[in-house]
Amino acid sequence: MKLPYVLSCLCTLACGIAVAQTATPAPAQRLSGQIIALDGSDLQMRSDSGQALKVKLSNDYRVVAVTRGDLSKVAPNAYIGVAAMPQPDGTLNAIDIRVFPESMRGTGEGHRLMASGAGGTMTNATVAAVSATQPGAYMTNATVSEVANADQARKITVKYNSGEKVVLVQPNTPVMLIQDGDRAMLVSGARIVVSVSTQADGSLLGNRVTVGLNGAVPPL
């Protein structure tokens, strides 16, 4: 075998290894809008900005449904998600609360920044206490142990695997109930949020669809 040919092969192999080592998967993103149509695994939607999009749903995609709830659902031992913003004193001011079913307990447990980059956070945790407080956004998921009167602002202490947070909740804070959904809910006109990743050819692959039921708008 001639030396130039060998060197050429080695160079090609080295370049291939370098590309493989530096290539990183495209970050996931969440698209909000309405369903135009669903044909097999091909989802057509119109984004909130008016853009028509095509999303290929993965073979194992999941459907999650969202309905409207109220603060009575934020009860002792409930597992919740709280979108919130940090306050100067270190507490979190809730934007909305998402109550998860028992089957989703432990999902995404922990405290982190939200993907929007607007300074909010997401915390999945177990609420340890709820008490009345003075009226006063971060994302917090937790379990609740005590509940104040429905017309009062509340202070909720939530605990997760590596810490705890204090969340301030106003009487008008939106509450959403999360449940397992199914394909039959993905009808034309339904409000959805789709978790997608961009493929090498520029197409969108979705692995989770959150759909709003009975007028509920799924959170982005």
The CATH architecture to which 30-66+178-212 belongs is Beta Barrel (2.40)
**154-204 confidence digits (pLDDT tens):** 899 999 999 999 999 999 999 999 999 999 999 999 999 999 999 999 999
**131-144 confidence digits (pLDDT tens):** 887 544 445 565 55
pTM: 0.77
**Where does CATH 2.40.50.320 sit in the chain?**
30-66+178-212
**72-83 confidence digits (pLDDT tens):** 888 778 999 999
Handedness of CA 105, 29, 139, 193 (dihedral sign): negative
The C-alpha atoms of residue 143 and residue 136 are separated, in whole angstroms, by: 22
Q: Of 167, 156, 179, give the one whose Cα is nearest residue 69.
A: 179
Which residues, in sequence order, are CB contacts of 16 under 8 Å at separation 6+? Answer: none
